[in-house]
Chains A and B, each alone.
Chain A
Amino acid sequence: MESGGYWRTTLLARRATRRGVLAAGGATALFLAACSGSNNNKAPSSGASSSSSSSGAASAPSGTPLSNGAPSGAPLTNASAPAGQAPSQLFLDAKSKPVTGKETIEELRDRFAQKNFKYLPGWKNGPKNGGTLRFLFDLPTSWDLTDAGASQIASWAMFHNKLVDFEIGDLSANTNIQTLTGDLADPPQQPDNQTYVFKLRPGIKWQNVPPVNGRALTADDIKYCIEVYQKAPVQGPIYRDVDSVQTPDANTVVIKLKQPASYFLGNMAEPDNLVFSREQHDAPGGLGTGPIGTGPFIYGGGTLHQGYKARKNPDYFKKDQWTGKQLPYLDGLEVTYIQDPDAASAAFRANQIDQITPADKQHWLDFLKTNPALITQICTPPPSAQPYYAWNLDKPPFNDPRVRQALSLAIDREAILAGVYDGMAGYGYAQDQSYFGQEWPWTKDQLGKYVNFDVKTAKQLLAAAGFTNGLGRTIDFHYFVSVGSPFDNQQLVADQWKRNLGIDVNNIVPPDYATWADQFFNKKYADVIMAWFAGPSLDPDAYAYGALNSKSTKNYFHVNDPQIDQWTEAQRTELDTKKRQAILQQIMQRDLDQCYRLWTLNGYKINLRYPYVYGLTDQIHAWCPQGWGSKGVEGVWLDK
């Protein structure tokens, strides 16, 4: 998910009350803004060269996860076809086969899997050039990539490139799993544990607009960006271990680290690392004047709260890694801002836009009733967007693990799965399961005993902690700003604590995102608060060290566990994938065992597009075309 953007918007067309709409007005874009990714550099897919190897890992690049035969959550295959063969029939819409709403999640995942998209009829003759993709979004708060709000700029990555990227698109092997790929450079060589050698691809030019005027990109441009980013508030941590950046020739960038860093390459693929030019950075107005990069689209101007346009970059260097054809296929983008979810739905039904992300299953089914020909993709949500409940760990009663464990055991997650999500959700936890070779969701076994529903044990734990009737007082439960399924999830949790443990809960629903953020980030909540994001990042480090190490700025919950501190430090410098996986699993188990955060369920991502749209898919870490998936528009084409 990894969407950036103050507007977030999206993204979240929810069945909203007026209050919810007003809350969503601020929150939706922010929701889109948070992106997280996991750093799962799997073995290269076709066309992408291997990332560099660590010493000792003969067959796997450093940080690249090997499949460890994780027993559950393995990718599903289309039941009607052996792997790699075209299915006898495709049912990617509701016209060829109705969607009743009674299908199991396994059936839906299999039927609407991205890996079936390569068999869509349009791919027989291959991509066509031309057309304008129309979707919903807005302008960012600032175009300055080095600004404090720069993490949101990922939603506008179509104007830039970075050194490496992650795969996304119809023809990707499996977008429920992270795959590293090249962008400005191929995945790097690693002559040693602390050195990354990037070879820039040939023929890369800046866009033909002032002040860069179409000149060639050089290694010095990359060096300049990294040196600026090292001092930037958002990107600084990514480059904290960079010791030097050398440019032995115009097309080679050599990054030397102060120490081995298992997370480094994954972080480099994050959309925070968009490459900009020195000329623009140093000019009056700086990067805030607009997005100028090497990317597939050139910004064509826009108006705040109305949208923007972009046109094809005729000098774009990249060819489609699967078809070999020149990118981008589209002539342009037309982006419109619609804040109201109902208005957005009406616009999509009227074919004024080409793609939409339904808020939940019911919205999806409603769309299919009126537009049965729409193509659906069901994708797994990212590790960065797994809802959880954070405790105030600094004071009683939640400084006692038995209390936290008891409250977790008192939640009937299966009831929430059935009642709130109608089966279209899974057990969540903020760590990148695809780093361990499996697709989301986690299984109950993997998430430990405290995700079971066991009121008897819960009461025993509370009694052992000294509480025989509730918690002796009313606890404050701060909701996250949301409507629809996430809101219902919270209500059910509060209700179950009351019914099962007699705990009186004061439900505090914030009127807007800023109120919630003030409570959460400034640690003003007294007891429990619901949160949505971790990371975001493409590497497990963000979900381990970032979230749980006592020295981390993103340890919002003040976890202070010396064992976790030791392990989170250790995994940062462990380049052997199997060993790193083992350490990460220890961290995960400790976190779950101590219930430092309470995990429930998360819904699947649903991407709806018109049948003439190709190449527009979500990926585990990305909603497309917004958020971290915005770069994915370079491979989109229209069969109109």
Chain B
Amino acid sequence: MTNYLIRRTIAAVIVLFLLSIVVFRLVHWLPGDVLIVKLGQGGRISPDKLAEARKQLGIDRPLVVQYTTWLGHILRGDFGHSLLFPDRSVVSLYGSGLPITLELSLLGLIIALLIAIPVGVISAVQQDTWLDYVTRVAAILGLAVPGFWLGTLSLLYGQLWFHWTPPLRYVSFAQNPGSNIQTFILPSLILGFGVGAGLTRITRSSVLEALRNDYVRTARAKGLRSGTVIIRHVLRNSLIPVVTVLGLSVATLLGGQVILEQLFGLPGIGLITLNGVLTRDYTVIQGGALMLGAVTIFTNLIVDCSYAFLDPRIRYS
């Protein structure tokens, strides 16, 4: 296992290095720069002042110089400051958004699992009954219906029918649990519904496959109750694909739910990254991409290692 972890770590470093080059080049290919955004439409300044401003921002240097300087700082743990908000470091920007995205992701995942596991199991066990058909249609709907559409409708009809809208501002759970729950309830449900739909289908397929195995027939022949067979034998073996998809979902979720964050006024990582791209805030985009890349790699590593726990036959050398 140790060798495996060392190999994965080395591979992770190489992947992150390549990622930094790709992201750096891509963002600098985008038309416009942060200064043009900062000036706005009314703030056109003289050419000499423009050149001075570009120099202050560091965007006048050749790209190679900009990249190596930035990389050097990264290796020292310094992700730099936002070009648009010079008093905010990239780490503090993402740091302020992380709890929000984490909370939204966690709540969404919990709701997704609460939906997916029982519904997927029931659907598989009751295959080809009306219950199975209903759950499958619901899962398709969950996959097909866009979250932003649901979110917009929920805001609109929530206000029109129930005279209720979520609180305008995010507050942490510690500051005000009631307001925090009200802020997150709608986006979490919408997120959970979407993610849960996919997980439901995966769970159903995995459970169906596991149910066909000989050990299940043996367990039943031994007189075990159906519930015991499902929970103790079938579910555990079915979980590997589910965990894999879950791991991929976590990475996606932590990347930020841009549309939901925007709709519900949650200044999470997604919104920070989106605004970074729109304003050509290179340090924010690059720093965010690296951080998210690292999280994705680390999450996948945990997922891979969990296989060994779930299935004793799997061992890493």
Contact = CB atoms under 8 A, between A and B. Distances in A.
A408 interface: no
B169 A25 contact: no
Interface of A: 2, 4, 6, 18, 21-22, 25-26, 30-31, 33-36, 141-142, 147-152, 233-234, 236-237, 285, 288-289, 303-307, 336-340, 342-343, 346-347, 349-350, 352-353, 370, 384, 512-515, 517-519, 521-522, 524, 531-533, 535-536, 553-554, 556
A31 B41 CA distance: 7
A514 B37 contact: yes
A342 B155 contact: yes
Given A6-B84, A288-B87, A303-B96, A518 B165 contact: no
B39 A151 contact: yes
Contacts of B43: 33, 148-152, 233-234
A575 B183 CA distance: 58
A2 to B, nearest CB: 8
Contacts of B96: 303-304
Interface of B: 30-33, 35-47, 49-50, 52-53, 84-88, 93, 96, 148, 152, 155-156, 158-160, 163-165, 168-170, 259, 262-265, 267, 271-272, 274-275, 277-280
A370 B41 contact: no
Contacts of A536: 42
9 contacts: A6-B40, A150-B43, A151-B39, A233-B49, A337-B265, A346-B159, A349-B160, A384-B42, A512-B278
> Quick one: which of A517, A518, A524 has the most chain B CB within 10 A?
A517
Contact of A305 (B30, B155, B259, B275): B275
Nearest to B279: A26
Given A142-B85, A151-B43, A347-B168, A339 B265 contact: yes
A6 B53 CA distance: 17
A98 to B, nearest CB: 19
A382 to B, nearest CB: 11
A337 B271 CA distance: 12
Nearest to B38: A149
> Quick one: which of A338, A340, A515 has the most chain B CB within 10 A?
A340
A179 to B, nearest CB: 22
Contacts of B33: 514, 518
Contacts of B156: 342, 346
A553 B46 contact: yes
A152 B155 CA distance: 31
A152 B259 CA distance: 26
Contacts of B272: 305
Contacts of A370: 160
Contact of B165 (A141, A352, A517): A352
B271 A514 contact: no
Contact of B42 (A142, A288, A533): A533
Contacts of B32: 514-515, 517-518
B165 A30 contact: no
Nearest to A152: B40
A34 B264 CA distance: 27
A288 B86 contact: yes
A336 B35 CA distance: 25
B40 A514 contact: no
B37 A303 contact: no
B262 A340 contact: yes
Given A142-B87, A288-B86, A517 B267 contact: no
A370 to B, nearest CB: 7
Contacts of B88: 304
B36 A236 contact: no
A8 to B, nearest CB: 8
A340 B267 CA distance: 12
Contacts of A521: 36, 39, 44
Contacts of B265: 306, 336-340, 343
A514 B36 contact: yes
A234 B278 contact: no
Contacts of B45: 148, 233-234, 236, 553
B262 A533 contact: no
Contact of B37 (A26, A288, A337, A350): A26
Nearest to A524: B31
A303 B42 contact: no
A265 B275 CA distance: 37
Nearest to A512: B278
A337 B274 CA distance: 15
A142 B163 CA distance: 37
A30 B40 contact: yes
Contact of A346 (B40, B53, B165, B170): B165
**Those 3 A-B pairs whose CB atoms lie nearest each other, nearest first:** A514-B32, A26-B278, A151-B43
B37 A517 contact: yes
Contact of B41 (A30, A141, A336, A350): A30
A342 B263 contact: yes
A618 B169 CA distance: 26
Contacts of B275: 25-26, 305
Given A152-B40, A342-B152, A306 B53 contact: no
Contacts of B40: 4, 6, 30, 33-34, 149, 151-152
A349 B165 CA distance: 9
B131 to A, nearest CB: 35
A553 B41 contact: no
Given A26-B275, A306-B169, A514-B279, 11 more contacts: A2-B42, A21-B262, A34-B40, A149-B39, A151-B40, A304-B93, A337-B267, A343-B155, A346-B159, A518-B32, A553-B47
A533 B40 CA distance: 10
A349 B159 contact: yes
A460 B230 CA distance: 84
